[in-house]
Amino acid sequence: MAEIPKDMKFLLFGFGAKWHAQCMMALNWLGLASLIVGIISGAMGKALGLCSTDWLLIAIALWVWGLGSWFTSYHALKEGIK
């Protein structure tokens, strides 16, 4: 794999690996919370702010967003950015 030029690393990895890893953890916790709210909403048969399908879609979106943040953190560490 080709080496990334030094002037491009900031554009690719932004705030660094630690920041992206912390965002990944926050997004995963928010995704888990919305998943739980979606399950409870579906079990009760009531809309808790949103219907249960919307809560589950939000949980999936947050998980995918967190996965992207994890990949960014992993590759930033692989490039030597802390």
Distance, CA of 65 to CA of 36 (rounded, Å): 18
Token duo for residue 73: 């953190």
Contacts of 36 (CB under 8 A, 6+ apart): none
Q: Among 45, 49, 21, which Cα is nearest to 33's?
A: 49
pLDDT in tens, the chain (82 residues): 567 666 666 666 677 778 888 889 999 999 999 999 999 999 988 888 889 899 899 999 999 999 988 888 888 888 777 7
**Adjacent-strand bridge partners of 50:** 48
Q: Phi, psi at residue 50, to the nearest 5°?
A: -125, 165
Token duo for residue 28: 């995963």
Q: What is the pLDDT of residue 80?
A: 76
